[in-house]
């Protein structure tokens, strides 16, 4: 039963990274009424603000706590955290702030996203960020998102950077800017020792505006469609169902999982799948929910030779972006020092809880495997079917194997010798290619950088056009991580900020 209706110019669905930007920017115009709907709570758990607490946020009320279907390549299910509540995933993420390398956005243009190259996006990167001490021609100094490299690095992180240099990798002067290659300390979303989420940066300063309504604990079921036009959304708070009418547009910012689910529940998606789950087909858009891409991640874990000094910053303040093969025209490997033993969910710690250690994490940054997000049924409360389909393209495991070799070369360099105890994982017996691959399968985890389920483009499988408009429907856009045609070669949050800033210009026309 629908219990009440309200009318707005814009209805924004999902208060994550993109939704906070778009609702805050659109409501700068006092003449428009904006509604932001968020399924999660208004108040996050206290630990959200504490940078070192991020690994403990998974499974809390701030996380949808999704789990993949069993993966053929690994034999198990992979946990898929994603943020729920104001700030969305920016409230539970690792706070690493990096643009993809320029080559990532060139790949978007090649995939049909004309006008979305690095230089096209640069004004939006600049508009979103505030960073000091970087090159002002490529980095912003007046945006709401305050970022900076760690004020001081953990000594094991310093040793990691020295080790990378020792084995021949260049130092990067700004590994976060998208133009550099090599190892360096990356920017972090930390201000005065606290996490700065998208809600902190954009939404909180806008909350007093009389033309902006934010409703939390509000699960959007579906969009309302009439004669080819989106007229609003239907959502519930507890057991009550509401309708919000949109005189202008509905903007979906539910993220790579949330946005395709809302589309499919609205009857916009692959015809045969919608029929299978009992949803009436309104627009047969076969690309909705397809094209899932994520960075597969694994770790080499060392027991420390002795006690480790206290951790500071975010546990992971420096990394390297490199090519697994110098002939490649794109960066395809990331190596990151994590100053704790970062065990894969499927491989429990074989050392005592108080033993100290550290990890070198590795990730394939241009994966070719493609997965899907599907409805389990028409009921909005039903958890979705998440299939990342990791390692279905053998290329990804090859790159990860190359990455494991690089991680070990760095891990066994002289510079890390004072810190190094035994290699806990993969362990000394894992030497040949076959056993390394086996380890990489067992230790696989998500880097939580899922993108691509509403991809932008011009071909039959594109979900939105290059103006982020849903193909075949008026008055409906998607503007979040799901529109990326291909995954960028870095952590994804900075790119989502830029997409959202650009979406605001597109919406304003």
What are the catalytic residues?
449
The C-alpha atoms of residue 299 and residue 124 are separated, in whole angstroms, by: 33
Q: How far is the CB of 84 from ligand FAD (least distance, A)?
A: 4
Between 215 and 330, CB nearer to ligand FAD? 215
Peptide bond into 144 cis (omega under 30): no
Helix, strand or coil, per DSSP, at residue 128: helix
Q: How far is the CB of 427 from ligand FAD (least distance, A)?
A: 27
The C-alpha atoms of residue 94 and residue 6 are separated, in whole angstroms, by: 37
Q: Are strands 357-364 and 296-304 parallel, antiparallel or unpaired?
A: antiparallel
Residue 386 sits at the vertex; the CA angle it makes with 383 and 389, to the nearest 5 degrees, is 165
Residues 6+ apart with CB under 8 A from 130: 140, 141, 142, 143, 144, 145, 146, 147
- 8 is an annotated ligand-binding site residue: no
Q: How far is the CB of 447 from ligand FAD (least distance, A)?
A: 7
The C-alpha atoms of residue 169 and residue 319 are separated, in whole angstroms, by: 12
Between 19 and 296, CB nearer to ligand FAD? 19
Residue 399 sits at the vertex; the CA angle it makes with 435 and 459, to the nearest 5 degrees, is 135
Between 18 and 415, CB nearer to ligand FAD? 18
Q: How far is the CB of 166 from ligand FAD (least distance, A)?
A: 26
**Cβ–Cβ under 8 Å, residues 321 and 365:** yes
- 430 is an annotated ligand-binding site residue: no
Between 121 and 415, CB nearer to ligand FAD? 121
Between 300 and 487, CB nearer to ligand FAD? 487
Residues 6+ apart with CB under 8 A from 119: none
Element (H, E) at 338: strand 333-338
Between 74 and 93, CB nearer to ligand FAD? 93
Between 304 and 480, CB nearer to ligand FAD? 480
Helix, strand or coil, per DSSP, at residue 124: helix
Helix, strand or coil, per DSSP, at residue 272: helix
Q: How far is the CB of 153 from ligand FAD (least distance, A)?
A: 17
Q: How far is the CB of 433 from ligand FAD (least distance, A)?
A: 30
The C-alpha atoms of residue 487 and residue 498 are separated, in whole angstroms, by: 14
Burial 141-176 (b: 16+ CB within 10 A, else e): eebbbbbbbbeebbebbebbbbbbbeeebeebebbb
Q: How far is the CB of 404 from ligand FAD (least distance, A)?
A: 21
Helix, strand or coil, per DSSP, at residue 383: coil
> Could you give the residue ranges of the DSSP H alpha helices within 320-468?
394-411, 433-442
Footprint on this chain of ligand FAD (rule: CB under 6 A): 13-19, 37-40, 81-84, 88-90, 92-96, 218-220, 253-255, 258, 262, 448-449, 480-481, 491-494, 496
**Cβ–Cβ under 8 Å, residues 500 and 21:** yes
Angle, helix 118-128 to helix 102-110, in steps of 10 degrees: 130
For residue 108, which phi and psi values (nearest 5 degrees)? -60, -45
By beta-carbon distance, which residue lies closest to ligand FAD? Answer: 16
**Cβ–Cβ under 8 Å, residues 16 and 197:** no
The C-alpha atoms of residue 418 and residue 492 are separated, in whole angstroms, by: 34
Between 19 and 371, CB nearer to ligand FAD? 19
509 burial via Cβ count (<10 Å: 0-12, 13-18, 19+) = exposed
Q: How far is the CB of 345 from ligand FAD (least distance, A)?
A: 12
Q: How far is the CB of 214 from ligand FAD (least distance, A)?
A: 11
Between 187 and 416, CB nearer to ligand FAD? 187
Q: Which residues line the annotated binding site for FAD?
A: 220
Q: Which residues line the annotated binding site for substrate?
A: 447
Q: Which residues line the annotated binding site?
A: 220, 447
């Amino acid at each position: 039963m629908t219990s009440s209706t309200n009318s707005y110019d814009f209805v924004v669905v999902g208060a994550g990274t993109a939704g906070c930007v778009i609702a805050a920017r659109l409501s700068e115009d006092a003449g428009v009424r904006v509604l932001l709907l968020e399924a999660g709570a208004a108040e996050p758990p206290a630990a959200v603000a504490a940078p070192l607490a991020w690994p403990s946020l998974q499974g809390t009320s701030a996380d949808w706590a999704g789990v993949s279907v069993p993966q053929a390549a690994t034999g198990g299910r992979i946990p898929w955290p994603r943020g729920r509540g104001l700030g969305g995933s920016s409230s539970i993420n690792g706070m690493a702030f990096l643009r993809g390398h320029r080559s990532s956005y060139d790949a978007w243009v090649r995939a049909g996203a004309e006008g979305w190259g690095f230089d096209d996006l640069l004004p939006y990167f600049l508009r979103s960020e505030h960073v000091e001490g970087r090159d002002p021609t490529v980095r912003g100094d007046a945006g709401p998102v305050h970022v900076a490299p760690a004020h001081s690095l953990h000594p094991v992180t310093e040793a990691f950077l020295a080790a990378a240099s020792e084995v021949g990798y260049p130092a990067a002067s700004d590994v976060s800017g998208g133009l550099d290659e090599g190892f360096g300390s990356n920017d972090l979303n930390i201000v005065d020792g606290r996490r700065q989420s998208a809600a902190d940066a954009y939404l909180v300063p806008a909350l007093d505006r009389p033309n902006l309504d934010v409703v939390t604990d509000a699960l959007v079921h579906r969009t309302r469609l009439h004669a080819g036009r989106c007229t609003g959304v239907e959502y519930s708070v507890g057991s009550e169902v509401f309708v919000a009418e949109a005189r202008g547009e509905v903007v979906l910012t539910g993220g790579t999982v949330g946005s395709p689910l809302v589309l499919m529940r609205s009857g916009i998606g692959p015809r045969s799948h919608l029929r299978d789950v009992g949803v009436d087909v309104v627009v047969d858009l076969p690309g909705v929910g397809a094209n899932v891409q994520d960075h597969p991640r694994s770790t080499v874990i060392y027991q420390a030779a002795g006690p480790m000094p206290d951790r500071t910053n975010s546990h992971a303040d420096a990394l390297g972006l490199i090519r697994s093969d110098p002939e490649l025209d794109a960066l395809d490997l990331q190596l990151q020092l994590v100053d704790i033993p970062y065990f894969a969910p499927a491989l429990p710690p074989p050392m005592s809880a108080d033993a100290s250690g550290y990890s070198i994490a590795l990730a394939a940054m241009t994966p070719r495997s493609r997965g899907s997000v599907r409805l389990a049924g028409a009921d909005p409360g039903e958890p979705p079917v998440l299939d990342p389909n990791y390692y279905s393209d053998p290329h990804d495991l090859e790159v990860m194997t190359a990455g494991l070799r690089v991680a070990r070369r760095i891990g066994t360099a002289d510079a890390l010798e004072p810190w190094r105890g035994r290699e806990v994982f993969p362990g000394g017996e894992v030497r040949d290619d076959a056993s390394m691959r086996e380890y990489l399968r067992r230790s696989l985890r998500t880097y939580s950088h899922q993108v691509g389920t509403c991809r932008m483009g011009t071909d039959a499988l594109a979900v939105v056009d290059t103006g982020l408009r849903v193909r075949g429907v008026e008055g409906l856009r998607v503007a979040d991580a799901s529109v990326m045609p291909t995954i960028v070669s870095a952590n994804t949050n900075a790119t989502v900020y830029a997409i959202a800033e650009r979406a605001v210009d597109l919406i304003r026309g």
